[in-house]
Amino acid sequence: MHIGEMVRRTGVSERLLRYYEEQGLLHPTRLPSGYRVYNEVDIDTVRRIRSLLAAGLSTTVIARILPCVCVDGPTLTPVCSDTITELRRERERITHAINELQASRTMLDTVISAAPAA
């Protein structure tokens, strides 16, 4: 299928599909004319990429773990032992970021509550 059909079937823009290709996440074949041709497996790959991005992972991390994650019904399941370690590391990074954001929000709440009544 050509890129327009891929956009229609995945809901992902042409620009993002090209970006995924640049990042090594997606590997469409190329016609001699340069047009990209996607297959049915690429639809599932895009869905996995979108799920992992929604989980807060960077495309760099996704590139490393994508071959080791399969779709198991509505859930992504890691199938390589190293993937679990990497996902735990990413979870810790996200938890740390959440804690920092909560501390920032608390600081802002303090500053806001110190303001004189309007």
Q: CA-to-CA distance for 35 and 67, rounded, in angstroms?
A: 25
Strands, DSSP E only, in the chain? Answer: 29-30, 36-37, 69-72, 75-78
Q: Which tens digit of pLDDT belongs to each residue from 27-83? A: 999 999 989 999 999 999 999 999 999 999 999 999 999 999 887 777 888 888 889
Cβ–Cβ contacts within 10 Å for residue 76, how many?
A: 18
Q: Which tens digit of pLDDT belongs to each residue from 101-118? A: 999 999 999 999 999 886
Burial class (CB in 10 A: 0-12, 13-18, 19+), 31: exposed
pTM of the model: 0.81
Chain CA centroid to CA 51, Å: 6
